[in-house]
Amino acid sequence: MSTEASNNSTLAPHSEVEPSLVLDSVSCERGERLLVADLSLHLVAGQGVRIEGPNGSGKTTLLRVLAGLSQQYSGTVHWCGKDIRQSRSSLAEDTLYIGHLAGVKALLSPLENLSWWASLHISSGDAVSKAKLLAALSQVGLERFANTPCHQLSAGQQRRIALARLYLSEHRLWILDEPFTAIDATGVELLEHRIAEHLKKGNMAIVTTHQAMQIDGFTRCPLTSASSEEEAS
């Protein structure tokens, strides 16, 4: 496991190993309900996919499976040719996941929160410099609040702390669950721009959102059939 991990980090973010995410008849259950049924999907470099579906159709469940958080699924998911059940570490090194929960500690400042995250997820060998963290925070408009405790910030601002990770990240796969929640119109525009930039570099993104999104290179993946069939039976 350790040799595999160190091998991966020697490679540049865009290595000869062509990144790919392949889902083969993935099904997820929640309780007794079948949420995602027999989903197959092939994602290649520079491509994004938008998972669509009404509330409760299993978008979050699917994203948690793809991020490696949830093991309750059938079928297989391969990241760069490796089954994610077997090689959790290679998926973890390449993936940035932002879920419904921001992962922001209310008692800490945005700067402290971001620096904690960076030390866990940006494995460069030493701590990410303060200037870089501040630059990421200013990208999301939080430079003035860098040292304010997060519980004094609004919901949208706390969300922006989580999104500031996108400006530090060189992960090849972004998994974003409702990233635009509580974000204002200009913020959404900047975010779309950032995601488009990410795809242009040959990376991938999986996004769920109920808002309209204008980014080139995104395919749509509706998640409706599974739950409605299940309800009918």
Residues that bind other proteins (CB under 8 A): 2-3, 5-7, 9-10, 64, 67-72, 89, 92-93, 95, 97, 99-108, 112, 115-117, 119-121, 123-127, 149
CB nearer other proteins, residue 89 or residue 225: 89
Nearest to residue 220, comparing CAs of 99, 13, 43? 43
Least CB distance from residue 55 to other proteins, whole Å? Answer: 19
CB nearer other proteins, residue 113 or residue 227: 113
Least CB distance from residue 172 to other proteins, whole Å? Answer: 13
CB nearer other proteins, residue 40 or residue 124: 124
> What percent helix, strand, coil does the chain show, rounded to 5?
40, 25, 35
Extract the tokens encoding 183: 């974000």
Least CB distance from residue 126 to other proteins, whole Å? Answer: 6
Least CB distance from residue 24 to other proteins, whole Å? Answer: 21
Extract the tokens encoding 121: 């997820």
CB nearer other proteins, residue 123 or residue 228: 123
CB nearer other proteins, residue 31 or residue 214: 31
Long-range pairs, 208-214, Cβ under 8 A, ≥24: 208/50, 208/51, 208/52, 208/59, 208/60, 208/63, 208/176, 208/177, 208/178, 209/50, 209/178, 209/179, 209/180, 210/178, 211/180, 213/50
CB nearer other proteins, residue 119 or residue 224: 119
**Residue 173 Cα distances to 43, 67, 177, 198, angstroms:** 10, 9, 13, 9
Q: Which residues partner with 82 through β-bridges? A: 79
Please state, as a whole number, how many other Cβ atoms lie within 10 Å of the Cβ of residue 71.
10
Least CB distance from residue 123 to other proteins, whole Å? Answer: 4
Least CB distance from residue 82 to other proteins, whole Å? Answer: 14
